[in-house]
Chain A
Amino acid sequence: MPALAIRLRGVVKRYGPVTAVAGFDLDLPEGTCVGLLGPNGAGKSTTMRLLTAQAIADEGELEVLGHRLPGDSKSARAVMGVVPQLDNLDTTLTVEQNLLVFTHLYRVPRARREEAIERALVLANLTDRRKARADQLSGGMRRRLLIARALVHEPRLVLLDEPTVGLDPQVRQELWALIDRLRSEGVSILMSTHYIEEAERLADTVTVMSHGRAVAVGRPADLVAEHAGREALEVYGPPARLREVEDDARERGWPTRRTGTSVTILRADGLNGELPEGERRQATLEDVFVLLTGEEIS
């Protein structure tokens, strides 16, 4: 069994009356990419803060690359890179200067600093923008710079907090390629996201998080098979008709989910009884996500 880059056991974090993380377990084997999937408020960002000791857990065990947190977190932070959800580049500095600052913060030895900056520039495909100020870059370039900044010290583990939130599809694909490259180089990755496709494409295993807990863990395909079956049936119609279908399904014990414009009956391939008319399609991770994390938006 490979060593674990991250090992969390029974982690609890409370903010006053709110319990943001409520007994969370997580294993991240070295060299793999784990997707932390959950709706807003599920505790993903708090988990990320716990891993850098910017939040201190009330209960539980946290281990990062063999270092116990929070006591030994500084050693852990020295060998991991963090890509924050919020852009916190130094906007008046150039691309190169932003990277230079982080070679110092991450203690890259003087003799290797220049090389580290070059490598990061190539990785982020920003070599020809090296002299541009950060506030002159496009949204996608800034994101790439944020990622490159977290990699100057060749970390063994990278935390990506919602790496593509708010970006258009083209830029998102570009970042996926970058993350995929890291993964193929053997870097361990923990990526929080609420984009299903992102988790599906990049993650070796997915941990679905809801109300501060892991509600499902597994490979994306296995999770779909286990929780949503092979096929789903989409039933369209006016709201009254949708309610009728839902009530009917509940009576028969069929799992359903709302998709806004339709009701989806899950496990449509294995259900007994006469199914209503609708469109059959393959079950997806999104079905699992909505099924497990609830449909209400809190």
Chain B
Amino acid sequence: MTPHSGSAHNEVRARLGSPEEGADARTEPRVRRLDRAALQGVLVREVVNFGSFWRSSTFSSTVEPTIYLLAFGFGFGSLVSKVNGLDYVQFVGTGTVATAVLFSSVFPGMFSTFVKYQFQHTYDAILAAPVDTEELVTGEALWIAARAGTYGCVPMLVAMAFGLNPAWGMFVVPVIAFVSGFGWACFGITVAAVMKSIDNFSYVTSTVITPLFLVAGTFFPISNLPQWARIAANVNPLYHCVQLVRHAVFGFQTEDLWHLGFIVVFGLVMWRIAIARMERRLVD
């Protein structure tokens, strides 16, 4: 993907006029694509707003995966003592990191994006400032990814309280959670841009997100599944996140390059799709 392969709108903008170095250019702020200043503006807005709802957001993003961890860890843990040579609590404790990443990125991507453009008209205000849709979407996704990178670590910390041994590789987990969360945030933004009504989100939640969340090797290893399910799991970005996190904690392997490559490509592709769909939605 070249830096100029922007969406139709940007091409229109580029074709119809290029920034002129006229008399005004000296006194006016310089602008270009993916401006740092524009991204900063979008991020500052999010950070300042986060000050008013971080409690509820942090609560739901951490309590939910913790409940999964405890329920499965102790529920199944009483039936299954070891999976792939790991204690079941360790297996689930590392797996639910991906669950936390998914929940804290795809749902904000879907719901808060939809609310911001449909009900609060926030994006109208932002796009009237020197910010383009590309920068708006990128800034929003980066912010959600940063939160996912943080919240994603919670299940791992809880699992440590239940006997997961510390490892140096754990310091890489926030990075994995960030990259993975960026892709899911962009996926959520795309859903918000495509859907006509917030009620339609449940179609996506039940047909896409729930299956992906269950068949990702979080609660049970996919190696025992039928072949078709194993193939399906391999195109599930969440599965690659689960594997990376587990290997970060218990030791990296060469196949992790494939897992990393997958979530990076997923993130980049979803990023461009989210920008294109949002532009169609926001610019007439």
Chain A 32-59 interface 0/1 with B at a Cβ cutoff of 8 Å (1 = within) = 0000000000000000010011111000
Q: Are A49 and B31 in contact (CB under 8 A)?
A: no
Whether a CB of chain A sits under 8 angstroms from the CB of B206 is no
| B11 to chain A: closest residue by CB | A71
- Number of interface residues, chain B, beta carbon within 8 A: 42
Closest B residue to A92 using CB positions: B52
The docked-state distance in angstroms from the alpha carbon of A70 to that of B15 is 9
Q: B28 is contacted by which of A49, A52, A78, A86 (Cβ under 8 Å)?
A: A78
A3 smallest CB distance to B (angstroms)? 11
> Cα distance A188–B127 when bound, in Å?
21
Q: Chain B residues with Cβ under 8 A from A258's Cβ?
A: none
Q: Using Cβ atoms and an 8 Å threshold, which residues of chain B touch A115?
A: none
Decide yes or no whether A102 CB sits under 8 A from chain B: yes
Assembled-state Cα–Cα distance A102/B41 (Å): 8
Residue in B22, B38, B284 whose beta carbon sits within 8 Å of that of A66 in the complex:
B22
Min CB distance B216 to A, Å, is: 35
Query: Provided the pairs A68-B16, A84-B128, A105-B131 are in contact, do residues A75 and B282 lie with their beta carbons within 8 angstroms?
Result: no
Contact (Cβ within 8 A) B124 A88? yes
Instruction: Flag if B13 contacts A77 (CB, 8 Å).
Output: no
Within 66-94 of A, Cβ neighbours of B (below 8 Å) are at: 66-75, 77-79, 82, 84, 86, 88, 90-93
* Chain B residues in 8 Å Cβ range of A15: 284
The answer to the question of B199 belonging to the interface, with a C-beta cut-off of 8 Å to chain A, is no
* A88-B129 Cα distance, complex, nearest whole Å: 13
Q: A72-B19, A88-B120, A93-B49 are in contact. Are A107 and B41 (CB under 8 A)?
A: yes
Nearest Cβ on chain B to A104's Cβ, whole angstroms: 4
Given the interface contacts A56-B12, A88-B121, does A75 sit within 8 Å of B48 by beta carbon? Answer: no
* CB <8 Å contact, B131 and A72: no
> Which B36-86 residues have C-beta < 8 A from chain A?
37-38, 40-42, 44-45, 48-49, 52-53
A100 at the B interface (CB under 8 A)? yes
- Inter-chain contact total with CB atoms closer than 8 Å: 123
Q: Is B255 an interface residue (CB 8 A)?
A: no
Q: Which residue of B has the minimal Cβ distance to A86? A: B121
Q: Given known contacts A54-B284, A66-B22, A74-B31, is B16 in contact with A82 (CB within 8 Å)?
A: no
User: Given A54-B124, A90-B45, A90-B49: A75 and B28 within 8 A (CB)?
Assistant: yes
CB of B283 within 8 Å of the partner chain: yes
Chain B 93-140 interface residues, beta-carbon cutoff 8 Å to A: 120-122, 124-132
A134, chain B: closest CB distance, angstroms: 11
B132 touches A74 (CB 8 A): yes
Evaluate contact between A75 and B124: CB separation under 8 angstroms. Answer: no
Tell me if A189 is interfacial: C-beta within 8 Å of chain B: no
Query: Which chain B positions have C-beta within 8 A of A73?
Result: 13
Candidates B37, B52, B130; contact of A77 at CB < 8 Å: B130
Check A56 against B129 for contact (C-beta < 8 Å).
Answer: no
Min distance, Cβ A248 to any Cβ of chain B, angstroms: 47
Interface membership of B230, Cβ < 8 A: no
With both chains docked as a complex, state the minimum distance between the C-beta of A8 and any C-beta of chain B, in angstroms. 14
Interchain residue pairs with CB less than 8 A apart (10): A53-B283, A54-B124, A56-B9, A70-B17, A71-B12, A79-B24, A84-B125, A92-B49, A102-B129, A106-B41
With A70-B16, A78-B129, A82-B129 given, can you name 18 additional A-B contacts, CB distance below 8 Å?
A54-B128, A54-B282, A65-B24, A71-B15, A71-B16, A72-B17, A75-B19, A75-B25, A84-B124, A86-B124, A88-B120, A90-B120, A92-B49, A93-B49, A104-B45, A105-B38, A105-B44, A149-B125
Question: B interface vs A, CB < 8 Å?
Answer: 9, 12-20, 22, 24-25, 28-29, 31, 37-38, 40-42, 44-45, 48-49, 52-53, 120-122, 124-132, 282-284
